[in-house]
Amino acid sequence: MTRVACGNDGIHLGDNAMTYSDRYLAFMGLAPHRLPHWEHWSCPDAETYLTGIDYYEHPRLCRERLRELYPQLNLAIPESDASIPRPELDLRGQSMTTDEEGRRHVRWGDKVTGHWDWGKQFHSVEEVLAFSPLENADFTNFPIVADGKQDLRSEETIYQRYRPRWPAEWGDRAPAGEANSVGFYNTMFMWPLLTFGWELFLESCLDPRFERVMDEFAELNRRLFRAFARLPVNFVVCHDDIVNSRGPVCSPKWMHKYIFPRYEEFWGIVRAAGKEVIFMTDGRADAYADDVFACGARGIITEPYTDFKTIARQHQDCFLAGEGDNRVLYRNDPAEIEAMVRDMVETSRLTGGYMMCIGNHIPWNVPPEAIKRYLDLSAELARR
């Protein structure tokens, strides 16, 4: 395992005292002394509990205090401290509601869930196979998850949309040692899933005519990754839910025809520009972890259904995150939470790239006391 001399805030190299953040070191498998966090956070009540400041009355003050207490969470600070409405489901004492179209919604964070109408405009396999992603490359008003709702007609259009997120003086290179990143939700697998919906996707995907549809989706992302290669970031986070909690959705043969060759191509584009790839997927990633690394990913963030220790042993100093389990937090058993944290730290000893992360999310109904115990134990134990 690669080892580096580092302080509490990162690594200092040479007389120029260049500082590398702990997050950067973890992404790169360089074994920072303190294990960073990458948390999927949607628990306002925990913020109130941890800070003593009502999240809904003073959202900015609450987050500022939370950052002081738990900077490792790296949560965004709201621009305004104006009070925000409490979730209606809480006020009515309900956990689920149904809208006028009969669609169910549940509590999520400080709001309620929306609804992804995957494929509602498609009604048959023939309509799927007749669809041209290239002829419809402006997805701005397309009913698809947010990342895909953009104009993908040209590389330059994509670049101009993303580039204002970073200082102009950076050019096309991020500062060395920083965990600056850009991400995309539809790396390849999510495009047909979110465009056509699960049922029509799976009904269509074995038809030979589907190859043309996937080739056109690939061209959209070819433009996107060429634009990403020009951005001042050190990492590209690529999301595709290629597995569920039990394992693969589609067969290895199908994946090696339609998905993995595109990963290798797209990731090669950004890696040639000096950027590293972090792959994100829900579910149990074991079956395809080797393929993901072979395509050029630096690491994987996934869920606790995955065998993290085996992956860490097989891929030297790879980046891994998502081993923590919210089911443990739900039960709020102090001994069980401590055992989980210690087990996560044990995995971190197998690879220089590891972040503490509750991989299956920290939603609104996790007991705040359990979250505090997890964070405090991590601060105490998650060190090399």
The predicted pLDDT at position 339 comes to 98
Task: Tell me which amino acid residue 178 is.
Answer: E
Q: Is residue 95 part of a domain?
A: no
Q: Note every long-range contact of 126-131, with CB atoms under 8 Å and residues 24 or more positions apart, other chains counting.
A: 128/196, 128/200, 128/201, 128/203, 128/204, 128/210, 128/213, 129/204, 129/207, 129/209, 129/210, 129/213, 131/195, 131/196, 131/213
pLDDT for 274 equals 96
Tens of pLDDT, residues 135-187: 999 999 887 776 778 999 999 999 999 999 999 999 999 999 999 999 999 99
Q: Secondary structure of the chain: what % helix, strand, coil (to 5)?
A: 40, 15, 45
Judge whether 377 lies within some domain: yes
* Residue 89 placed within a domain: no
Which residue, among 384, 318, 317, 329, has the nearest Cα to 357 in the 3D structure?
329
Average pLDDT, the chain: 92
- Which CATH number is 372's domain given? 3.20.20.210
Split into its structural domains, the chain has a count of 1
In a domain, 92, yes or no: no
Q: Which residues of the chain have pLDDT under 50?
A: 1-17
| Amino acid identity for residue 114 in this structure | G
For residue 280, the cross-strand partners are 239, 301
**Is residue 1, in this structure, part of any structural domain at all?**
no
Query: In this predicted model, what pLDDT tens digit does every residue of 241-283 receive, in sequence order?
Result: 999 999 999 999 999 999 999 999 999 999 999 999 999 999 9
Expressed as residue numbers, the domain containing 315 is 6-77+119-381
pLDDT of residue 115: 76
Beta carbons of 119 and 142 less than 8 angstroms apart: no
- What's the rounded Cα separation, in Å, for the pair 306 and 323? 7
Residue 369 lies in a domain: yes
**CA triple 363-368-369, angle to 5 deg:** 140
pLDDT of residue 96: 75
